[in-house]
Amino acid sequence: MHKIIAFLLISTTMTSCFYDRIELDYNQNENKKVIITGWITDLDEPQFITIQNTVNYLGENAPDPISEASVTLSDSQQGYELSHRSDGKYYLPDNWVAVVGDTYTLEVDLDGLTYTATHKMRTCPSIENFYAQEIEDSTLTDSIHVFETIFSFQEIPGEGDAYYGIDYVAGSIDKDTLFNGLYTNDDFVDGEYFEDIEISDYDRLFKEGDEVVLDLFSIGYETSEYLLDVQTEIFKGSPFDTPPANVRTNFTGGALGYFIASGAKRETLIIQ
């Protein structure tokens, strides 16, 4: 559908079109808002959330981190205090152990206000039959051997599931960009076997010798809707665009941002 939309857009403006970088003068960021973002998983790696202020949309604006908040993450049994290290990042203690299937509550106290969000850490299905396949499309390969990854998994029966997957070269920062990965939910496919899924981004295919990591997250239906909101907002330009609007948040108390707790699976392979 995106291809069709792009085609129509080009057709709409095929007569002539001019693009100019312009200066815009309008009120920005009059009321700074607190932003809390976090994506904790059961993977064996440091888990953190980030607190920052909104910054002006236009111009050069580095993030505006907040370091003085009091942050607690609770499961059904106990709460853990997160500690600030740098750049508005608050880390869970090293002894924290994820409880898959439990619902987590994140509570942030800041300047006398409390912001709260909850998210269930859903079980993530196993990654099956993970392999790399050489791309044969000559327009993409340009005489170099490039590869994409393919995998399968069993969707968990019961409606309300959604998944996010991303593949990247181990140690790279590719995984740090939301839309280098893909997401889907179990609408119309509840309980089905997802076979030979291709998620590699054709702008960053893999080469021989690359150690490729595949992360699969069980994010829940509501979070897939959040990702759809974000996608809608940042990929504007089609004739079918909806009016711009704030993406949803699962925080109460007036903060924006989103908190995700998800079960995850990770597999690696070396391209040969």
Partner 1 sequence: MKTRTLITAGIIFALYSYGFSQHKFTLSGQIKDAQSGEDLISATVYNQEYSLGTTSNLYGFYSLTLDGGSYKIKFSYLGYEDQIVEVDLSKDQVLNIELGESGALLGEVVISAEKEIEDDNVESTAMSVDKVDIETVKKLPALFGEVDIIKTIQLLPGVKSVGEGTSGFYVRGGNADQNLVLLDEAPIYNASHLLGFFSSFNPDAIKDMQLYKGAMPAIYGGRLSSVLDIRMKEGNSKRFAGSGGIGSLMSRLALEAPLGERGSFMLAGRRSYIDVMGKLFQRIKTGEKQDDNQFYFYDLNAKTNFRLNEKNRIFGSGYFGRDVLAAANQGIRVEWGNSTSTLRWNHIFSPKIFSNLTYYYSNYDYFLDYEEGVTKFEWDSKLKEHSLKADFGFYLNPNNTLKLGLHSIQHNIAPGNIKSYENDELISEYDIQKNKSYESAVYISNEQTFSDKLKIDYGVRLSALHNVGPSKAFTYNEEYEITDTTSHTSGIFNSYLNLEPRVGLRYKLGESNSVKASYNRTTQYIQLASNGNSSTPFDIWFPSSERIKPQIADQVALGFFKNLNDNTIELSSEIYYKKFKNSIDFKDHANLLLNQNLEGDLRVGIARAYGIELMAKKNKGRLSGWISYTYSKVEKKIPTINSGDWYNAKYDKPHDFSIVAAYELNDRLSLGSNFVYSTGSPVTFPTGKYTFRGTSIPIYSERNGARLPDYHRLDFSATLKSKKNKHRRLQSEWVFSIYNAYNRKNAFNITFQQDEANPNTTYAEKASVFAIVPAVTYNAKF
The residues of the shown chain that bind partner 1, judged by CB under 8 A, are 1, 3-4, 7-8, 11-24, 26-33, 35, 37, 39, 52, 54-63, 173, 176-179, 228-230, 232-234, 236-237, 239-247, 256-258
For the bound state, the minimum distance from the C-beta of residue 207 to partner 1, rounded and expressed in Å, comes to: 23
Is-contact 216 153, C-beta < 8 A? yes
Two structure tokens written together for 82:
């997160």
Q: Kindly tell me which of 29 and 72 has the beta carbon lying closer to partner 1.
A: 29
Check residue 179 and report its DSSP letter.
G
Which is closer to partner 1, CB of 54 or CB of 72?
A: 54
Q: Tell the smallest beta-carbon distance from residue 268 to partner 1 (Å).
A: 20
Beta bridge partners of 261: 40
Question: To the nearest whole angstrom, how small is the minimum distance from the Cβ of residue 25 to partner 1?
Answer: 10
Question: In b/e form, how buried is each residue of 73-83, taking b as 16+ CB within 10 angstroms?
Answer: bebeeeebebe
At 12, phi and psi to the nearest 5?
-55, -40
- With respect to partner 1, which residue has the nearer C-beta, 29 or 103? 29
CB 65 within 8 A of CB 52: yes
Q: Smallest distance from the beta carbon of 140 to partner 1, in angstroms? A: 15
CB-based contacts of 180, cutoff 8 Å, min separation 6: 166, 168, 174, 201, 204
CB of 103 closer than 8 Å to CB of 77: no
Q: How far is the CB of 209 from partner 1 (least distance, A)?
A: 25
Judged by beta carbon, residue 29 or residue 116, the one nearer partner 1 is 29
Cβ 214 to partner 1 shortest distance, Å: 17
CA 269 to CA 214: how far, in whole Å? 9
> Residue 161 — φ and ψ, nearest 5°?
-90, 155
- CB closer to partner 1, 75 vs 249: 249
| CA dist., res. 168 & res. 174, Å (int) | 6
Based on CB atoms, which residue is closest to partner 1, 174 or 211?
174
